[in-house]
Chains A and B, each alone.
Chain A
Amino acid sequence: VQVVESGGGVVQPGGSLRLSCAASGFAFSEWGMHWIRQAPGKGLEWVSTIQYNGNNKHYLDSVKGRFTISRDNSKNMLFLEMNSLIIEDTAVYYCVADGPYIAALWGQGTLVTVSS
């Protein structure tokens, strides 16, 4: 039972990045999924949530219009498309699964660094 993130890296301000999360060992299509981030040396910050069937999505105000969460239940995959990146988006991004209840399973995280 695990989720594994990928896709992080170094990007310039204004750039784009697509994070992926591969889920295995549980009924992915039955659970809500989330992205939660942690800036270097800082606390945890919820970023986005997608319902089990992809119908409802929620975003942190500061990323609305720039980030898009999506999922492919046929491939047990979660995504986060990040555009117009700013310095303040620099963080480790965790893929987090419900099941049961909220935020039960966390990945190891992928580091996104926005820097010129």
Chain B
Amino acid sequence: DIVMTQSPLSLPVTLGQPASISCRSSQSLVHSDGNTYLNWFHQRPGQSPRRLIFLISNRDSGVPDRFSGSGSGTDFTLKISRVEADDVGIYYCMQATDWPWTFGQGTRVEIK
């Protein structure tokens, strides 16, 4: 199975400041079809997860451009350019390149 490792697991941030979450996979996420199936999700307290980013760097409709995804191969990053109060919660990366699909442990973002 592909192991997804996120860091940090806890991220206290100041409002208006940037934040960055790393996600590393135990093997390349490049699929034989040429795509890299790396998604990012955000789960607010008491809510269902919501997809933010698909295929490494594509923002979902309605996701602010403060959020950006980047990376390749085994190394990926989610960045928030200026954290807002609504950004608190847990962020997960997920690979869908190979079965079984696997998630990172989650990174809890909180406001200092």
Contact = CB atoms under 8 A, between A and B. Distances in A.
Contacts, number: 49
A100 to B, nearest CB: 8
B96 A109 contact: no
A30 interface: no
Interface string A62-87: 00000000000000000000000000
B49 A106 contact: yes
A106 B50 contact: yes
Nearest to A106: B48
Interface string B53-85: 011001010000000000000000000000000
A103 B39 contact: yes
A60 B58 CA distance: 27
5 contacts: A43-B106, A44-B41, A101-B55, A104-B51, A109-B48
